[in-house]
Structure 1
Amino acid sequence: MTVTDLRRRRDRRISPVFLGIVAVTAAAGWAAWTEPGGSTGLAVFVFVTGAWVVSLCLHEYAHARTALHSGDISIEAKGYLTLNPLKYTHALLSIVLPLLFVIMGGIGLPGGAVFIERGRIRGRWRHSLISAAGPLTNLLFAVVCTAPFWLDALDGVPAPFRYALAFLALLQVTAAILNSLPVPGLDGYGVIEPWLSRELRRQLEPFAQFGLLAVFGLLWVPEINDAFFDAVDALLRALDVPEFDTYWGRELYRFWQGEDVPGVG
């Protein structure tokens, strides 16, 4: 095995940081399942937060892996294939702000993180696919979270864990929808950007750094927020996830508010 092969294996090895996050998430999920009582809210908070960070890592991994197979071989050396969130270009946009969005408003909104050398990639379809890979990962994660609901496999599942799954599914659906919007700075814009004229791309480029915050700001407008979550709730109902479960999942996640949650205590 050559030095290059050893380096490639190292650059693709799953990070202990990511494995640690997965372990903490699994432990919190087990606690939420087996120990209903006063500590359930904290367990649900850690479980949902950990699972959300895992989904953020997978979101960015999907971008990086697609870019690697599209021609950007620099991805490996940057450490993006290790799933280590500490390797991201903007930890604030990638982890901190999305977590604040979840805690403050129950909104899942990933931020841009991995730096892709677009000049290495040829073909507009490849550029579009790289951008689409992230939201598609959130959709897949949402399918996994909602599977127990639409497969009618919830018999015996404790209420706190069911609520947590429903809330996590809501986060994934909101992330997939919002990040697919054709707003500069979001993946939805990245999908259509290669098909725009060079002049239009140049005019829109300065707005990319504000796109994420602009979308989040608009969601604080009551009318827009209500319309958005009505659409999200309708989609979740189509997947057999009751609004009752997502509501109490959000309330249980905010355990510091001391809300009495059905089936807990």
Structure 2
Amino acid sequence: MDFLNKILRIPLDQLPYFLITLIIAFSVHEFSHAYFANKFGDPTARLQGRLTLNPAVHFDLFGVILLLIAGFGWARPVPVNRDNFEKPRQMGIVVAAAGPLSNLLLGFLGTMIYVVLSRFGIIDMISNEILYNAVHTFFAMFNFWNFFLFLFNLLPLPPLDGYRILEDIVPDRARISLKQFEQWSVLIFLLILIIPQLRSVIIQPLYAGAETIYFQFGSFFLMLFGG
């Protein structure tokens, strides 16, 4: 147990809430990619069984392990063939952005529900202390990590969605140059993992950004519901 506590970024007592958050966040994220790709005329994800909320088909073991020990990670990318789109670049951007935006929406809804439950005293009605603490911990975990995943996936690094968006924005010549870096994606994230300076420059601001978004949405809903 002590060994796990030392290597895991998430405390063991919070691990169940974290895993539930990942199951929901990753499943909705990847489903959103598949849904819009299929809607725009590319059935690739659907034909491979990815147009589903079943988390078993979306989890990437390496991405989940990284998230547990390093505080950043990803699900298994949904296959997308942009050649099937009527407007490959424009629709490609929408498909890529759908994943991060789904996490933003989950965090938004989670924050609203938490504020409503707190504002109207529903959580305070829970007499069991363990359950009371579990509800608070889950919402804090769920909302923060969805906001973090929203920001993290917008980084312009392969295989993240921000990189796919960048691919569809830049000219064709630059896109060809970008393709050369995709083979180094695993190495890039391993370097971020083992070099503290890189992690502090790239990942730490995302934590701060996620906390800021959470606070801003929380303040908005408190004001909206008379808190």
The TM-score bracket by the shorter chain reads: 0.7 to 0.9
Q: Equivalents in 2 of 1:69, 1:55: separation in Å?
A: 21
Structure 2 unaligned segments of length 5 or more: list them: 1-10, 127-131, 220-227
Q: CA deviation at 1:213?
A: 5.7
SS in 2 for 1:122: coil
1:205 partnered with 2:179: yes
Counting only pairs closer than 5 Å after superposition, residues 59-74 of structure 1 correspond to structure 2 as 59-74=29-44
1:234 partnered with 2:203: no
1:148 partnered with 2:117: no
Q: CA deviation at 1:147?
A: 1.8
Q: CA deviation at 1:63?
A: 0.5
Give the match for residue 163 of structure 1: 137
Q: Equivalents in 2 of 1:57, 1:86: separation in Å?
A: 9
Q: CA deviation at 1:215?
A: 5.0
Q: Equivalents in 2 of 1:44, 1:140: separation in Å?
A: 23
1:79 partnered with 2:36: no
Q: CA deviation at 1:52?
A: 1.0
When residues 198 and 69 of structure 1 are mapped into structure 2, their CA distance, relative to the original with a 3 A threshold, is same
Counterpart of 2:216 in structure 1: which amino acid? A
CA contact (8 A) 2:42 2:80 kept: yes
When residues 62 and 199 of structure 1 are mapped into structure 2, their CA distance, relative to the original with a 3 A threshold, is same
SS in 1 for 2:137: helix
Give the match for residue 116 of structure 1: 80
Counting only pairs closer than 5 Å after superposition, residues 128-147 of structure 1 correspond to structure 2 as 128-147=93-112
Pick one of 149, 152, 157 that aligns with 1:175. Answer: 149
Give the match for residue 56 of structure 1: 26
CA contact (8 A) 1:70 1:121 kept: yes
CA contact (8 A) 1:57 1:83 kept: yes
Alignment identity in percent?
A: 23
When residues 144 and 47 of structure 1 are mapped into structure 2, their CA distance, relative to the original with a 3 A threshold, is same
Give the match for residue 101 of structure 1: 66
Q: Equivalents in 2 of 1:170, 1:229: separation in Å?
A: 8
CA contact (8 A) 1:48 1:168 kept: yes
- Aligned pair count reads 195
When residues 213 and 64 of structure 1 are mapped into structure 2, their CA distance, relative to the original with a 3 A threshold, is farther
Superposed CA deviations along residues 40-76 of structure 1, whole A, max 9, x for unmatched, are: x877522430331232111111111100011113333
Superposed CA deviations along residues 115-150 of structure 1, whole A, max 9, x for unmatched, are: 112221121211110101100111111112222344
TM-score, L = length of structure 2: 0.73
Q: CA deviation at 1:163?
A: 1.6
Q: Equivalents in 1 of 2:91, 2:157: separation in Å?
A: 19
When residues 78 and 238 of structure 1 are mapped into structure 2, their CA distance, relative to the original with a 3 A threshold, is same
CA contact (8 A) 1:62 1:137 kept: yes
When residues 83 and 149 of structure 1 are mapped into structure 2, their CA distance, relative to the original with a 3 A threshold, is closer
Counterpart of 2:90 in structure 1: which amino acid? W
CA contact (8 A) 2:156 2:163 kept: yes
TM-score, L = length of structure 1: 0.63
